[in-house]
Amino acid sequence: MKKTLLCLGYGYSARALARLLLADGWRVIGTSRELIAEDGVEMMTWPGDDVSLQGVTHVLSSIAPTSKGDPILAALRDKIAAATTLEWVGYLSTTVVYGDHDGGWVDETTPITPSADRGKWRAQAEAQWQSIAGLPLHIFRLAGIYGPGRGPFAKLMSGKARLIIKPGQVFSRIHVDDIAQVLAASIAQPNPGAVYNVCDDVPVPPQDVLSYTAELLGLAMPPEVPFEEAAMTPMARSFYSENKRVGNALIKDELGVKLRYPDYRTGLQAVFKAEDMEKFVPPAEPPAL
């Protein structure tokens, strides 16, 4: 049987994995809310089209849950549970399920204690997937995702970026290409029931990332704004309500992954080149009055 990946939610991370698998001769099927054209991928709309698992050997689910639970399982749980050809199922969760640890380290053995609603919904969705008996499930808890087309460059070039300062705050991140190679490594050596943190080696304050991006672009540093005074959406502010350093030893020890971008500097350098930022010309300084 030809290896066939069904991406339930053909988004940013799924695309990166599809590129790897298509190069190896896989069949890839993707779902999207609107029908889109994607080279080499069989696309369908969902919700809308009937999703069949006939001949599907691998499933990747990346659609975010809501307060009502996982929308994929609400519609397709029975089909997924009854599928007989599945060799690997991957669910993309996030590190928000760990909650706040005041800057301390967490790993896959750390109890789940989400505080934000989106973390509680993710924890609930993980449990819903885990409750399907016999499913070859693998859960991937992703840190903040960046890569070509999704990074701090556009915000800085627009002049709207701010250095929001909250003392002691750190975040973990992961380049999309490293997400893809972790997923591919898991597919190559499945371990049903496994949970993996997917992040780079160096959790850092958000202002360090923005400052380095400005350095790459040759721009002046954005203005500093204390967190307490920053105008932010409730969603953006919720990210700052949790502070932790996420460990990634398991993807290295069990899956043998060697990160292409082990820190934000190497990752941003790659995005800088991929987006052809070398041609960016910083605006001239205004004349002195």
Query: Percent of the chain, pLDDT > 70?
Result: 96
Residue 84 covered by a domain? yes
In angstroms, the Cα distances linking 121 to 63, 215, 226, 258, 277 are 12, 38, 30, 31, 37
Domains identified in the chain, total number: 1
Looking at residue 199, its pLDDT comes to 98
**Peptide linkage before 47 cis (omega within 30 of 0):** yes
Residue 246 covered by a domain? yes
Mean pLDDT of the chain: 92
Looking at residue 283, its pLDDT comes to 55
Residue 32 covered by a domain? yes
Residue 284 covered by a domain? no
Q: Which of 20-24, 149-153, 271-275 has the lowest mean pLDDT?
A: 149-153
Average pLDDT of 265-279? 87
pLDDT of 65 higher than 70: yes
Residue 122 sits in a domain whose CATH number is 3.40.50.720
Domain span at 86: 4-279
Taking the C-alpha atoms of residue 90 and residue 87, their distance in angstroms, rounded to an integer, is: 10
Residue 92 covered by a domain? yes
pLDDT digit string (tens) for 116-136? 899 999 999 999 999 999 999
In angstroms, the Cα distances linking 284 to 18, 152, 158, 210 are 42, 21, 14, 20
Residue 285 covered by a domain? no
Query: Percent of the chain, pLDDT > 90?
Result: 75
Residue 157 covered by a domain? yes
Q: What is the CA radius of gyration of the chain?
A: 20
Residue 287 covered by a domain? no
CB 180 within 8 A of CB 17: yes
pLDDT of 286 higher than 50: no
Map tokens 């789940």 to a residue. 112
Looking at residue 288, its pLDDT comes to 36
